[in-house]
Structures are given as C-alpha cells and as structure tokens.
Amino acid sequence: MSVMTHDGARLTSGFGLAVVSAASFGLSGSLARGLMDAGWSAAAAVAVRVLLAAVVLLPVAAVALRGRWGLLRRHLPLVGAFGLLAVAGCQLAYFNAVAHMEVGVALLIEYTAPVAVVLWLWARRAQRPGRLTALGAVLGAAGLVLVLDVLSGADVSVVGVLWALGAMLGAASYFVLSSRDTDGLPAVVLAAGGLLVGGLGLLLAGAVGVVPFAVSDAPVAFDGFVVAWWVPVLALGLVTAALAYVSGIAAIRVLGSRLASFVALGEVLAALGFAWVLLAQSPSGVQLVGGALILAGVVVVRAGEPRVVAPAVPQVAGRARGAGARGAARDEHQASDSVSSK
C-alpha cells in the first residue's frame, strides 16, 4: 500500500510539473505581443527571454555536467546548431508571427512541426512513415487548412503565416537535433547551452544590424490594464523560460518523455487562454476545430513512434545504475514538449 501511495504521489507531482511547464510556455506569446506593441522588437524580446533563462539554468547545467567539460566540447557544434535554430530561430519566428496574427493560430501552425519531421525523414532518409504516422500527418495538414481558415476566404496575414511556418521549421529542427546521439550529454546542458548561444547570437545579430533590435521603457498595455515594462520582461524570462524549462525537465524525469509530451500539449490551451485574457483574442469555431485536428495529429504521430525499451538492470543500493541512468538521459532528449524549442 505504501508503495502504491508513493507511486501515486510521484505521478501526481509529475503531472503537476508538466502542467506548470505547459502553462508557463503558453504565456510567452501574449507577453511578447504586449512588449512588441510597446516598441520592443521581436529579437530583443527573444534575447531577454532566453538569456534570463540561461542565467538560471547554467548553474543547474554545471552541476549536471559534473566536470565533464570534454563531453561538452565534443558536442559544441550540436549545442551551437541547437541554440541558433531550435532556440533563437524558432522563437524569433514565433514572436514575429504573433506580431501579425493571433497567438493561438501562430502556435497551432508551429505545432505542425512533427508533420514536417515525418516528411523530412521520408525524403532524406527514406524512412517511410507507418500508418499511424501517416494518419497523424494527414490530420495535421487538414487542421492547418482549417486554422488558417482559407476555405471561408478569411483575411489571412501572409507575413504572419510565413513567420509561423518558420517557427514550425525551427521546432522541427529541435526534434531532429534532439534525436542525435549525445553520448550522455545531459538534456539540461543542451538546453542551457542552446539558450546561451541563441541569446548571444541574437545580441550579435542586432549589434551588426542583421535583425532589428529595439527596446523600450514605455508601459506595456494589455486588455484592460497597463504594467511597467519590466513586469512582462521578468515574466518572459523567469516564468515562460526558466520555470518552464526546469519544470518540464523535472516532469520528464518523473513521467518519462512520452507521457510528459502528451501533457505538454496543454500549452496550446494555455496560450489560447492567456491570449483571451491578456489580448482579447479568441479563435473562430473553424479554427478551434482545426486546432483540435492538429493536436489529434500530433498525438497520433507520437503514438506511431517506435517505443525504445531499455534493458532491465539490477538495482544497487536502491538506485538503478549504468543503463538506467542512460535511459533517464535518453528520456530527457526524446522529450517533445518543446523544452528547448519554445
């Protein structure tokens, strides 16, 4: 009975952490839109967000690395690509998208990333998708058509759609890069390194004029209230990034990557809720149906993924060693809750 109670409490805490992570990630689009309406550029908002998160995560990453600096050096190209594509590129595109379209619609377009990964693997590696994966891709594509509401002739921001598709490609790069063999590099190290590289890359790009980089101390207006500029800035960095990443990684350790990734789909619901409260944005009925199809497609695609079963290992002194630890690390890297791309 005590074991069952302990497992139940652990599962409950894992779900709680996953929900906190999803809700925290879902807040980012609305906060970014408020900052950009107040004069911030998308690059500046992303840079502040990821650099604040990096400051929080770097000490955690240093502890997880346990002095294995050679391991980090061997994976610097991966960390660099991760930071520039999956972190900076994805976030920059997403924030630019929400500047031209509703937050929920932009995020739903980004959530078609698993479909892009399926197509990329099919074209590049001749990995033909299974029936479930193909069904999920079809559902996602159909949902995308409804989310864009093109059938009713709705006025769609082409610029916003292109930026959202760019965010989708950035998220797809997260899945592809995370699937690479990292030889024991902890997920939190990859996340922290990627955040640091992405933030510094945006600062450099802004300094040389590659991307617009502007900040403002003007008050930030949301629907029905106004706050000082530093309130959404701190919330963007500490809540939607640092708290979101830490709680997400902790949830994966408890629930495993597959279950945690399903709970993380709640990010879309959170994003829609925050956009409604903070920005008075609400999607149409057709777009909600499309969003449901996209999420269903993501679920079906993930259900069609082959399960990786770790070999059983004896426990020593009450803790699994060796392969068990590697399995936990693998679970972290397989997480598709956007714990790096958001």
Name beta bridge partners: 222.
225
Which portions of the chain are predicted below pLDDT 50? 1, 308-340
Domain boundaries, the chain: 2-333
> Helices marked H in 66-215 — which ranges?
69-74, 76-81, 90-98, 103-110, 113-125, 131-148, 158-178, 187-207
> Would strands 319-320 and 225-227 be described as parallel, antiparallel, or unpaired?
unpaired
Distance between CA atoms of 137 and 140, rounded to whole angstroms? 5
pLDDT at 33: 96
Please say whether the beta carbons of 341 and 174 come within 8 A: yes
pLDDT at 12: 83
pLDDT at 154: 60
| H/E segment holding residue 278 | helix 266-279
Neighbouring residues of 173: CB distance < 8 A, sequence distance ≥ 6: 81, 85, 86, 89, 90, 341
Cα–Cα nearest to 174, from 94, 236, 98: 94
Number of residues that this document lists for the chain: 342
Show the CA angle centred on residue 211, arms to residues 205 and 214, nearest 5°. 100
| pTM of the full structure | 0.81
| H/E segment holding residue 227 | strand 225-227
Please compute Rg for the chain using Cα positions: 20
Largest CA distance in the chain: 65
Cα–Cα nearest to 37, from 232, 241, 242, 207: 232
**C-beta pairs of 209-212 under 8 Å, 24+ apart in sequence:** 211/41, 211/43, 211/92, 212/41, 212/42, 212/43
Neighbouring residues of 49: CB distance < 8 A, sequence distance ≥ 6: 28, 32, 91, 236, 237, 240, 241
The model's pLDDT over 120-150, given as tens digits with 9 standing for 90+, comes to 877 777 777 788 888 888 888 888 888 887 5
Distance between CA atoms of 294 and 288, rounded to whole angstroms? 10
pLDDT at 181: 63
Distance between CA atoms of 90 and 340, rounded to whole angstroms? 10
Cα–Cα nearest to 236, from 73, 23, 53: 53
The dihedral built from the CA positions of residue 44, 45, 47 and 51, taken in this order, carries a sign that is positive
Per-residue tokens: 3: 């074991």
Per-residue tokens: 50: 């990821």
| H/E segment holding residue 220 | strand 220-222
pLDDT at 150: 59
Strand, coil or helix: 315: strand
Please say whether the beta carbons of 53 and 241 come within 8 A: yes
Distance between CA atoms of 75 and 53, rounded to whole angstroms? 21
